[in-house]
Structure 1
Amino acid sequence: MNLNYYIKNTITSFLGLCILATIVNYVIFDPTQQQLEHIGTIIGVIVIFLGIMGIGYINAKSAPENKVKQHLFLHLALIIFLFSTDLIFGQSGFIVDILRNMSYFIALELGSYLYFKRNRQKLLLN
């Protein structure tokens, strides 16, 4: 297994999630305008979901060897890391942390699924 792939993609995925959260928190969701709070929340959830799917797509695309196993291990490690940081530094409850991280994992795997669906013929030839 290529340890460099796991370290590089875990760190860049975590930084990508931090950037997505910052964008949603400061650009899309503006709590000063109360009448647009629901619209900002909906747009924020959509942006986060699509961004995490993009991260999953990139992780599956950049896997050097066995693309099926490597991205799955990477996503599991990333979710465990995110879950532990949620538990240590987060303000929400345990169940909310579990549900949030499960939705992150589902979005990451959907991005990987889209990569495999789009590149099925190329992967079968290799």
Structure 2
Amino acid sequence: MREGVTNRGGVAGEGSAARTPVKTFQAYLPPAHRTYSCIHCRAHLASHDELISKSFQGSQGRAYLFNSVVNVGCGPAEERVLLTGLHAVADIYCECCKTMLGWKYEYAFESSQKYKEGKFIIELAHMVKENGWD
């Protein structure tokens, strides 16, 4: 059984009469680490230490696979046929500027693709390298 995707940028008190927007706080990665940031608003997205692979393809070109990310919200999961087969994925977006960045692998139907579950794809078109890349 698969768990549902939570939307960290959701609404407090859903299902109740009073709906108050949830305040999200921006996370900052340590300044000594090489960092990938949103190209649109410069919010930190991932540390280079969390990079798994540079060999992925997104809808807008090359993409990187990360173990974990920050300042990213998740949409609802849906089944999609990708280059490597059928997966349940959820679109991810920058919590600060709401730009769509890529997707999260929620579930892989093929055993050879299970390593992707819980991992994140961010397209290079939406990232910039910051802090200590020289």
The TM-score by the shorter chain falls in which range? under 0.3
Higher strand content, 1 or 2: 2
Higher helix content, 1 or 2: 1
**TM-score of the pair, normalised by structure 2:** 0.25
**TM-score of the pair, normalised by structure 1:** 0.26
> Which protein has greater RCO, CA pairs closer than 8 Å, 6+ apart?
1
